[in-house]
Amino acid sequence: MEGAAVAAAGGGATPSSLPCNIALTAGLAVLAAAWLLASIRRRNTNAIAGGRGAGGRLPPGSRGLPFLGETLQFFAQSPSLELHGFFKRRMDRYGPVFRTNIVGEDLIVSLDPEVNNFVFQQEGRLFQLWYPYSVMRIFGIPTIATTLGPLHRLMRSLVLRFLGPEALRQSVLHEVQKTAEAALLSWLDQPSIECKEALSSMIFSVTAKKIISYDSETSDGMMWKHYDTFFGNLITFPLCIPGTAFHKCMQGRKNVMKMLKELFDERRGKTARRPAESIDFIDVLLEELKQEKPALSESTALELIFLLLFASFETIASATTAVLTFLTDNPEALQELTEEHDYIQKRRADRSSKITWEEYKSMKFTSHGMFRTATEDVHIKGFAIPKGSKIMVCSASVHLNPAVYKDPNIFNPWRWKDTAEPAGGGSKDFMAFGGGVRLCVGSDFAKLHMAVFLHCLVTKYRWKAIKGGKMTLSPGLRFPEGFRIQLLPKA
């Protein structure tokens, strides 16, 4: 994953078998639908028919059991960060492009780099974004992840005003540093801390402040708790009846949306204009809604806030926790990372001064480290993809391709050291943040947050693993035993 801290290549269950791809971790991270390993595109008709497509053969595969399809296998837990067993078994049997049925939807799944890149690059022409109904219920309709054309471009431009490179350089960089320094200092007083939980809370305080002027010191913490309930039950079978995990997930979402609506209404009722330095994302959305013919509706604005808050803290926390587990098991990588940041600090006239934008951009070792539907009949690599077919693009598989990356299941942050970042943020062999017009809008924010946190960590502290650290896919990234560390002052 370009930019995710060491952005080394991945992680597995043991130091000797750590998958090539922390890109997998971050790729999952920055995709809003955390329970999906891919993007889906579709083409304007219904489910995939059997037999041959127009002018070619359909990919091989199976629809599985009636009603269930192959959903249970898709959600099964994988014991490491290697390519999820669901995809690996079917790739071995059918090849990198195959058919399946998940959550009641017939899909064509692609693990082929060329096909994946083609789908991303043809967004808006031969393919358009599509999500299953169960996903739309979770993340709302519409959001930046599901809108098309002018509305998507507007939403993306609004988000970039707060999370784009210029905003990062002007204000976010130092806000992230200040929050990270305070969080690390507070961890010193504890016998151990649970990494992902502590990092999620830390990141939420930064992003929520920028988006809704959330103050972690004065808040009762209920919004954070509702989000935690939402995500804790997200990667589950979408059966929404009382008592099920999915029902708890939807209740968490409902509670967050209620709080956001109350905040939105409260802010709209105020007549006094807020100072320029206090303007947040809600203010920007309210200004947009005041236009004579606003492109956004209030419900769209609220869904956008909900998704941004979730995607920003939960996904970055998962990726950062994964980075810490990899570094814990690889002293050599930790040593080189520390040397890079110590060198940056020693060059300053005042070693306690704030990180500059130039220093952040110089962190080379640190920074290296979806669904569609077809709108026309497509023929590629000997297969026919009929109009209306739903295509799951499994971009994570790209980073585990031994034909591209030597020993992809071995943790090796140096593999990226002399590799330039792909133009536009992605290529057919690198899709940590998606590609095409759907390249993750928060990718720069994710990279900066992890790099600054690591700088604050390794220049002043060391840590000792206390418990956990095992990572699994089910299919999203999970830490079933957590990862507890003890933070200590640097000797």
Binding residues for heme: 440
Cα 230 to Cα 234: distance, rounded to the nearest angstrom:
6
The length of the chain is 491
Kindly tell me the sign of the dihedral angle through the C-alpha atoms of 437, 439, 445, 448. Answer: negative
Alpha helices in 290-436 (DSSP H): 298-328, 331-346, 357-361, 364-368
Q: Left, alpha or beta for 206 (phi > 0: left; psi -120 to 50: alpha)?
A: alpha
Cα 245 to Cα 352: distance, rounded to the nearest angstrom:
47
Cα 6 to Cα 21: distance, rounded to the nearest angstrom:
11
Amino acid code (one letter) for 49: A
Contact indicator for 106, 98 with CB cutoff of 8 Å: no
The three-state secondary structure class of 423 is helix
The three-state secondary structure class of 129 is strand
Contact indicator for 119, 386 with CB cutoff of 8 Å: no
Contact indicator for 101, 67 with CB cutoff of 8 Å: no
Cα 147 to Cα 77: distance, rounded to the nearest angstrom:
31
Q: E-strand spans in 118-277? A: 127-129, 193-194
Please state the separation of Cα 488 from the chain's center in Å. Answer: 30
Q: For residue 384, what are the CA distances in angstroms to 38, 381, 391, 420? A: 20, 9, 12, 35
CA angle 249, 38, 54 (to 5 degrees): 125
Annotated binding site: 440
Token representation of residue 446: 């994710």
HSE-CB at 463 with a 13 A cutoff on CA atoms is 31
Query: What contacts 349, CB < 8 A, 6 or more positions away?
Result: none
Q: What is the full DSSP assignment across 219-259?
A: S-SHHHHHHHHHHHTTSS----STTSHHHHHHHHHHHHHHH
